[in-house]
Amino acid sequence: MSVVRFGLRLTLAVWLFSSALLAACGGGASPASPTRPLVREMSATARSYFTELLDIMQANSIYRKTIDWPAFRQTAVGVDSDEQTIRDLYPRIRGALSLLNDHHSFYVGPDSTVIRSPSLPAACTDPTPPPVHVPDDIGYVRVGSFGGIGPGETEFAQGIQDAIRAGDHKNTGGWIVDLRDNGGGNMWPMVAGVGPILGNGTAGGFVDPDGNTTWWGYQDNASIYNGSPLVIVPTPHRLLRANPRVAVLTNCRVASSGEAVVIGFRVRPDTRSFGTPTFGLSTSNDEFPLKGGGTLFLCTSTMADRTGRMFGKAVAPDEQIADPAETVRRAIEWLQQ
């Protein structure tokens, strides 16, 4: 409710109360003039902004082919639409994201307010993984989440490759890539960082509702999207033993971009995954700046592995193991076979 509308209602209520009091006391001899109804209408600025947001959803949503858009827009706009500013629209934007029901889209307003699509039901009960210790012939690297952009991307990716360099020895017979608790964010520094183990070439793709696939992967020292480098590692490392055997560790707190990295290791030769299924946000968001300020991060495609197999839900490991310590033990056992 806006301050202006509340003020009008309050003034009207006081006036009616005063009129009734005067009538009861014999005052107010002249008949009262008829009151004019309050006009409830969205401002041109707010309407244009919200229309643009709905247009973007209709043209690009992952569900654009299955949603009844006339009904969607009628429900989203609703009645009694008297928003005057972009901030007034926040409850209505939240409602539109709820109607999409893709669990992944979100909106960032001009004032940095974040409004998210309702998430999947929280059902993760996996315990926190304890510190990992591996024998000398096994390499280990943890790939955590990263939410930034800009110079921090390069530093993050370089840090992962530096950790790989430190653990890479002539007798290293295999690698553990630990993605447990990776809640997502920006996948490109993650891919660039783990690239030496992932290997050169296509690792995965994004499939839109029309069936078009945009491929991504790693090449030499950079994460690649649609053939173009995104995050470039300044001092890349090349493994002493190329194309190693890899064990990937997952749990139910691996989400979104973390799941993309998990999928990147699917179908890779000499690779096996251990742990529990991921969270289930293996879809991709695209960024759409709005003319009045703010940005819509809209879910537009489904993650796929390097063969084109689509996911869109939780990614199950090859071996499901609930105990995090046992997960590591079994991964080491498999690597040493």
Which residue in 310, 312, 324 sits closest to 250, CA to CA? 324
**Is 306 contained in some domain?**
no
| Residues 104, 101: Cα–Cα separation, whole Å | 8
Domains of the chain: total: 2
Whether 29 maps to a domain, the answer reads: no
Give the gyration radius of the chain's Cα atoms.
27
The residue with tokens 């950079």 is 222
Which two three-digit tokens encode residue 208? 């839109």
pLDDT at 30 over 90: no
**Which CATH number covers residue 107?**
3.30.750.44
Q: 52 or 77, which is more confident?
A: 52
Dihedral in degrees, nearest 10, Cα atoms 162, 164, 169, 173: -170
Distance separating alpha carbons of residues 61 and 82, to the nearest angstrom: 27
99 found inside a domain:
yes
Reported as type and span, the H/E element at residue 214 is strand 213-219
Indicate the pLDDT class of residue 79, thresholds 50, 70 and 90: confident
Within-domain flag for 131: no
> Within this chain, do residues 159 and 98 fall inside the same structural domain, yes or no?
no
Distance set, CA 199 to CA 79, 180, 196, 245 (Å): 55, 21, 5, 11
Please indicate, yes or no, whether residues 188 and 163 belong to a single structural domain of this protein. Answer: yes
The CATH number of the domain holding residue 185 is 3.90.226.10
Instruction: Tell me the percentage of the chain whose pLDDT exceeds 90.
Output: 82
Residues 178, 172: Cα–Cα separation, whole Å: 17
Same domain (yes/no): 174, 246: yes
Residue 129 in domain: no
Mean per-residue pLDDT for 51-70?
Answer: 98
Nearest to 261 by CA among 334, 326, 331, 178: 178
Residues 116, 122: Cα–Cα separation, whole Å: 15
Pair 211, 326 in one domain: yes
- CA 1/CA 19 separation, integer angstroms: 26
Q: How many CB atoms lie within 10 A of CB 64?
A: 17
pLDDT digits (tens, 9 = 90+) for 253-306: 999 999 999 999 999 999 999 999 999 999 999 999 999 999 999 999 999 999
Residue 268's nearest CA partner among 285, 289, 245 is 245
Is 291 in the same domain as 324?
A: no
Identify whether residues 110 and 63 lie together within a single domain: yes
Q: Do 247 and 293 reside in the same domain of the chain?
A: no
**Residue 298 burial by CB count (10 A; 0-12/13-18/19+): exposed, middle or buried?**
buried
- Residue 271 and residue 246: Cα distance in Å, rounded? 5
Classify residue 128: in a domain, yes or no. Answer: no
Could you give the CA distance from residue 103 to residue 114 in angstroms, rounded to a whole number?
Answer: 14
Strands 271-275 and 222-225: unpaired
Q: Which residues contact 102 (CB under 8 A, 6 or more apart)?
A: 61, 62, 63, 117, 283, 299
295 and 329 in a single domain? The answer is: no
Kindly give the pairing relationship between strand 114-116 and strand 106-108.
antiparallel
Statement to judge: residues 195 and 246 lie in one domain: yes
Give yes or no: residues 253 and 213 share one domain: yes
Instruction: List 206's β-bridge partners, or say none.
Output: 214, 303
Q: What is the pLDDT of residues 105-126, one digit of tens each?
A: 999 999 999 999 988 776 788 9
- CA dist 308 and 143 (Å) reads 24
Confidence of residue 40 (pLDDT cuts 50, 70, 90): low
Q: Give whole-number Cα distances, 145 to 45, 112, 248, 257, 298, in Å.
A: 37, 21, 15, 8, 20
Within a domain: 187: yes
Do 185 and 269 reside in the same domain of the chain?
Answer: yes
Q: What is the pTM assigned to this prediction?
A: 0.85
- Which range marks the domain in which residue 268 is found? 138-279+314-335
135-184 pLDDT tens trace: 999 999 999 999 988 889 999 999 999 999 999 999 999 999 999 999 99
Flag whether pLDDT at 11 surpasses 70.
no
- Overall average pLDDT of the 204-220 stretch: 97
Overall residue count recorded for the chain in this entry: 337
Q: Same domain for 263 and 160? A: yes
Q: Is residue 15 part of a domain?
A: no
Lowest mean pLDDT of 50-64, 71-85, 170-184, 322-336, name the range.
71-85
Q: How high is the mean pLDDT of the chain?
A: 89
